[in-house]
Structures are given as C-alpha cells and as structure tokens.
Copies of this chain bind each other. A is one copy, B any other.
Amino acid sequence: MGENLRTSVWDEGRVGYRTNRVYFVLFKGDLNYSSLRRSEAKALCNIDYRAPMKKPSSARRTKRRNNPDATKQDILNTATEEFANYGLSGARVDRIAKKMRTSKRMIYYYFGSKEALYRTVLEQAYAGIRTSEAETRLDSASPTEALRQLIEVTFDYEEAHPDFINLVSIENLHHARYLAKAASIRSLNIVIIKRLEDILARGRAEGVFRSDIDALDVHMMISALCFFRVANRHTFNVLFSRDLSSPRVRTHHKRMISEAVLRLLAP
C-alpha cells in the first residue's frame, strides 16, 4: 500500500483535530480508496500533529456530582420513552443522550450496547405491569366480582401505560427475540395465570362459570380487548374518526369488555 499511495497536503496545512483543513489522498492501482486516519496521515505525511483540545468553556461548567443510580435510572426512563416511540431500530442513541442529564458515553458504560439497553427497558416494563397486578388484592369477592376487578385493573393499567403497549408491539415485530432472553419475566407472568385459574376454579365449583374455556383463553381475551384499544387507537381514529381514548368511550368500553368476558364465561 505504501508505495501505491501518494499524499498531498496544503501549504501551511495542519492535519489534525479540529483544524480548518481537510486532507484527501489518492490511491493508484485499484478501484478502492479511502481517507486516512489522522494517525496514519501523520505518519505518512510527516505533518505536525497537534491536537488543539478545547478549553473547557469555563463559564457554565457546573460541578459534577457522581450519582450512579440516578444516572442509570435517568438513562432507563429516557430510553423507555425513546424505544416506545421509535422502536429498536428507529431509536437513536444520540437522541436519548441529548434528552438525558448525562452523556452518551454513560449508556455504553452502564449497558454496553443499544440492544442491551433495549432489553433492560423491556424487562423493566414487563416487571411494572405484573407487580402492579400482583399488588391488587381481590380474593374476598365472589368469582364474578373478582374477575370483573381483575379485568378492570388490566384495563386501567394498559390505558395508563401506552409506552408498555408500544414496547410489546415492538417486541412482537421482533418475534419476541429479546423477551425470550429475559427468563425472569416468565415467572412473573405465571402469577396472573395462576390467579385466573383460581378464580375460574371457584366459579366452576359454584356453577357460574363454564369449564371449556381455560385461564389462558380468558387472559388472552382480556388482553386482546384492552390492548387493542390502546395499541391501535391511531389507525382506528384515522379510519373511523372515533377517539378511543376519550373518557366517554373509555367508560363505555370498560363496562362492555367486562360484560363480554363474563357473558362468555356463563354456562
């Protein structure tokens, strides 16, 4: 390569960091070309290489406070919003960095890569809904009332967390590849199924629920009805001019969904 290469740099030209000059090189002998790194250029051209290094803009330079936990959570919160809005490929690390109080460097310091950050965001989001469900107590009531309460909790949570809904949609577009790597999530989700099974068993014993529809079916049905309203509200609104997030519609649908599930479960 060396002998096939010739370089030329302007008079008074310094090839270096933040200089006003830009240099270019020519190759002979093949179709490929490439610009040189500064270090290569330095060696090849024997240029005075002085990195000017900015003066730290003295004025508005607040004292740095080390706070690893806050930094980490700041990154996660900002990233959740970014990934939920733009997807994994659409999300921009630079944009996350700009919105944070810290720098892009820290994303890589704490999470290693964009993909790893996405995975962490996903895990945190799933943990959110499941622990929220787990915290609501509803054992006392009748099976019918317990089920209605469970439905309403799901409805309310999904209404209140469109970011989570988006993340689930996005993850499905990825064939749940990243979710599959988060083993912890699975055990969290078993809980809600166990709970549903419990309610269903009680209802069947009392003769108020049929037995050819199992807990997973019911969970799917509840999820489907609640999820769609949030996930697809934009296309629905564009196509049919009905705003699914308006209070009136929300109240109506909340009752309707409960009723649909309960009616279906009647023997």
Contacts and interface: CB of A to CB of B under 8 A. Distances in A.
A153 interface: no
Nearest to A188: B239
Nearest to A266: B263
Interface string A214-257: 00110111011101110111111111101010000000110010
A176 interface: yes
Query: How many copies of this chain?
Result: 2
By secondary structure, the A interface counts as: helix
Interface residues of A, number: 75
A131 to B, nearest CB: 15
Contacts of A6: 10
A28 B20 contact: yes
B263 A168 contact: no
A230 to B, nearest CB: 9
Contact of A20 (B31, B86, B238): B31
Nearest to A193: B240
Closest 7 CB pairs of A and B: A24-B24, A224-B228, A89-B90, A176-B234, A22-B33, A263-B263, A176-B238
